[in-house]
Chain A
Amino acid sequence: MSTRRGGSPVNIKDMFHSNASDDQGKIFSTRLYQLTQRHRHWFFIGPALIILLLVVIYPIIFSTGVSLFRVTFASQSRPFVGLQNFERMLGNDDFIQSALNTLYYVFFSVSGSFIIGFGVALLIRRVTAGKELLRLILIIPITMAPIVVGLMWNWMLDPLFGLVNWFLGLLGIPGQTMLAQASTARLTVVLVDIWQWYPLVFLIIEAGMATLPRAPFESARLEGVSSWIIFRRLTLPMLRPVILVALLLRTVDAFRTFDLVRVMTDGGPALTTETLSLYLYRTAFTFNKLSRAAAGSILMLLFIGLISALMFRYLYRDVEVG
């Protein structure tokens, strides 16, 4: 970066980006001026970067540090325990249970919202009148706070007066307590999560489809290629980066779900809906085991980092970002 400029004291580019006073060309050909010009971006980026280091990097360093000691909010003594907290976490049945629940949650919520969202994106292209209105209605769920969504569905699913059971009653099906039974609670929460987030997939895929070139599709259609083959051989491959973005965002969000589960089941019944976020929250704030929660959150971060790094690498193979 610096070697190329060594020769001439002022180059054309610096003149061009100069401010009013140095147009008079007095002392600004000094090395100091060049230095500030070369690093001027830090002047713009610096403040944001400092705050980001504070709010993102500091917590990660702190958690890593705390996870190596035994720290509680109550006690003053903090003995160094090495990797003991990690061992305890990985050997803890509840942690493993909540990790498995989270994987279940991620898998079904992501695939469910992806399939429905993709389907809706394909369908809405076939619609003419009322398209704007339909789109507007369909995206309402993503704008709602997850906690509001959860409370609303609690009401819908209430075994005594909820609309869902009332509707089932009309069909002759007796009232169900979906959220209170271990066999159905997990699926019910996942379905509500899908209800809230398939519109996100829909929006992303729709936006992606709008950018596709028309020519290959038109010529394929002229040659009489069936729409299924067009979809498999043209639409899907061309949408690959967009699909990856949708999957990546959904995976990350499903992985850290907290609000929805917190208000719908709070992890119950019998831990069947306990997610990692919920379990770690409880470990830290109910059971006062700060170090163990920190160790768990580092494990969680490593895991999601690994997943998204893999997806990212796949993504960057064909998209230029930055």
Chain B
Amino acid sequence: MRVPRSERILAYVILIVMAILVLVPVLAGSVTAFKPQIIWVSSPPTWIFEPTLENFEFVFFTRKGWLFLRNSLIISIGSVVMALILGVPAAYAFARFRFRSSKALMQWLISLRMIPPIVVGLPFYAMFLYLERGLGIGLRDTFPGLIITYQTFLLPLVIWMMRGYFAELPAAMEESAMVEGYTRLGALWRVVLPVVWPGIVATAILNFIFAWNEFFLALILAGNRTSTLPMSAGTYIVRTRVEWGNLFSVNLIIMAPIIVLTIILRRQLVKGLTFGILE
């Protein structure tokens, strides 16, 4: 559309200010991760210094950051894989089959987005406790326990996103494959999935971001063995003193992969963040 020059300049000025308000805290904070301890808290801030990796080394090895990184990876990837295995076939059924309860079920799935995590976290904590005491089944502070719990927010999202991707494909695709002798599952596996895989990747990445950033459920249900990266960030705050350089190293380890994934995913982001309600 045609925009008057003055309007465009004003838009640029405001947007650039907004961008600076985003970039300054993110970059200035991240820079601290590379500062030697002696200038972590200098005022005015020191901008010229010899960058060092000692904070990362300390966080990664002395404070067992590699362990938290490993835990975060296992939990995030594990819960996304589980959500995909359960969610993709369900999404396919919602997109292709007509059945009476489908609309109500899809709406119910969106309504799950409204549930406050405390409503889920508390009973799960109690359930894990009772299972352990009563039946000797230990799920507290284990990967399977967290991976199952994470399905509360991952699975509905996978179903909604994937249903959108399946609905974009013509139904004739698998029907002609079935005429040629494939079963429906065979057609889904060999004909449909190879075509929707970009959608699956987008779904997987977005769900990975949510699982990776999750804090509340992990705080309640994880322990020494399964602590995640976001939980470990909190350990660098001691009431009187914060180890800023170390803290920002952890922050950077949490943030960097997600920012890269976001750049890859940016076009699909809205769909996932809005549960595809806008479609």
Report whether A45 and B269 are in contact in the complex, using a CB–CB cutoff of 8 Å.
no
Where the two chains meet, the residues of A that have a C-beta atom closer than 8 Å to any C-beta of B are 1, 16-20, 23, 40-41, 43-45, 47-49, 51-52, 54-56, 58-60, 62-63, 66, 73, 119-120, 123-128, 134-148, 151-156, 158, 160-161, 163, 166, 195, 200, 203-204, 206-208, 211, 241-242, 245, 249, 252, 255-256, 258-259, 262-263, 276-277, 280-281, 284-285, 290, 293-294, 297-298, 300-301, 304-305, 308, 312, 315, 319, 321-322
- Which residues of B sit under 8 angstroms from A18, Cβ to Cβ? 178
Which residue of chain B lies nearest to A203 when distances are taken between CB atoms in the complex? B270
Report whether A124 and B45 are in contact in the complex, using a CB–CB cutoff of 8 Å.
no
Report whether A305 and B183 are in contact in the complex, using a CB–CB cutoff of 8 Å.
no
Whole-angstrom CA separation of A41 from B106 in the bound complex: 13
Report whether A55 and B102 are in contact in the complex, using a CB–CB cutoff of 8 Å.
no
- Which residues of A sit under 8 angstroms from B105, Cβ to Cβ? 45, 49
- Which residues of A sit under 8 angstroms from B15, Cβ to Cβ? 120, 123-124, 127, 134, 138
Which residue of chain A lies nearest to B82 when distances are taken between CB atoms in the complex? A51
Report whether B234 and A135 are in contact in the complex, using a CB–CB cutoff of 8 Å.
no
Whole-angstrom CA separation of A2 from B227 in the bound complex: 52
- Which residues of B sit under 8 angstroms from A138, Cβ to Cβ? 15, 18-19, 22
Which residue of chain A lies nearest to B180 when distances are taken between CB atoms in the complex? A20
B259–chain A nearest beta-carbon distance, Å: 6
Which residue of chain B lies nearest to A218 when distances are taken between CB atoms in the complex? B1
Which residue of chain B lies nearest to A62 when distances are taken between CB atoms in the complex? B123
Report whether B123 and A63 are in contact in the complex, using a CB–CB cutoff of 8 Å.
yes
Query: A204 and B123 in contact (CB under 8 A), knowing A73-B129, A140-B22?
Result: no
Whole-angstrom CA separation of A63 from B21 in the bound complex: 42
B255 on the interface (CB 8 Å rule)?
yes
B274 on the interface (CB 8 Å rule)?
yes
- Which residues of A sit under 8 angstroms from B97, Cβ to Cβ? 40-41, 44
Whole-angstrom CA separation of A58 from B120 in the bound complex: 9
Q: Mark B113-132, 1 if CB is under 8 A from A, else 0.
A: 11111111011111101000
Which residue of chain B lies nearest to A200 when distances are taken between CB atoms in the complex? B273
Report whether A252 and B113 are in contact in the complex, using a CB–CB cutoff of 8 Å.
yes
B53 on the interface (CB 8 Å rule)?
no
- Counting contact residues on chain B (CB < 8 A from A), the size range is 35 or more
Q: Mark B7-30, 1 if CB is under 8 A from A, else 0.
A: 110011011101101111110110
Within 8 A of A (CB), among B223-279: 230, 233-234, 237, 242, 244, 247-248, 251, 254-255, 258-259, 261-263, 266, 269-270, 273-275, 277-278
B55-63, B135-143, B189-197, B207-215 - interface stretch: B207-215
- Which residues of B sit under 8 angstroms from A312, Cβ to Cβ? 107, 111
- Which residues of A sit under 8 angstroms from B263, Cβ to Cβ? 136
Whole-angstrom CA separation of A120 from B17 in the bound complex: 11
Query: A19 and B29 in contact (CB under 8 A), knowing A138-B18, A161-B45, A200-B273?
Result: no
Report whether B274 and A249 are in contact in the complex, using a CB–CB cutoff of 8 Å.
yes
Whole-angstrom CA separation of A148 from B106 in the bound complex: 33
Whole-angstrom CA separation of A181 from B207 in the bound complex: 38
Report whether A143 and B216 are in contact in the complex, using a CB–CB cutoff of 8 Å.
no
Whole-angstrom CA separation of A299 from B159 in the bound complex: 28
Query: A321 and B106 in contact (CB under 8 A), knowing A51-B155, A139-B269?
Result: yes
- Which residues of A sit under 8 angstroms from B116, Cβ to Cβ? 255-256, 276-277, 297, 300-301, 304
**26 A-B residue pairs with CB within 8 Å:** A17-B178, A20-B181, A23-B181, A40-B184, A41-B97, A43-B93, A45-B89, A45-B105, A47-B90, A51-B151, A52-B109, A55-B151, A56-B152, A59-B120, A60-B123, A63-B122, A120-B18, A134-B15, A146-B215, A147-B233, A155-B29, A161-B41, A256-B116, A262-B215, A298-B119, A300-B119
